[in-house]
Amino acid sequence: MIPAGRALRLTIFVDDTDTWHHRPLYTEIVHRAHAAGLAGASVFHGLEGFGTTSIVHTTRLLSMADDLPVAITIVDTEERIRAFLPQLDDLLTEGLAILDEVEVVRHRGGRVT
């Protein structure tokens, strides 16, 4: 659980086709965040985007439907996020990772069944 107040949001942008040892890179990042005990991680699949190649990839054109953007978002205390950052050194050969300060207003967990 994240206490209310200041926290960090780590957002990692990769392509949906990026892999780590034959599994999606975003899956590896989520599983590592889970193993590190972080409060949570979410993966958001983009419909359209471009990166360093300046080629726009979109779901609207079948020929350009590869390499769509994926954003992995993790919010936790600054200490825990910064401790997790070295894990990205091995994983990110391409992509973008950003940090921004956020204010946690409320964080309530559900029951694990």
- The answer as to whether 112 is a domain residue is no
Say yes or no to pLDDT of 3 above 90.
no
Residue 109 lies in a domain: no
Distances (CA, A) of 90 to 4, 14, 40, 68: 31, 14, 21, 22
User: Is residue 113 a part of any domain in this protein?
Assistant: no
For residue 67, give the CATH number of its domain.
3.30.70.120
Residue 111 resides in a domain: no
Q: pTM value?
A: 0.83
The model's pLDDT over 58-110, given as tens digits with 9 standing for 90+, comes to: 665 555 556 788 999 999 999 999 999 999 998 998 899 999 999 999 777 76
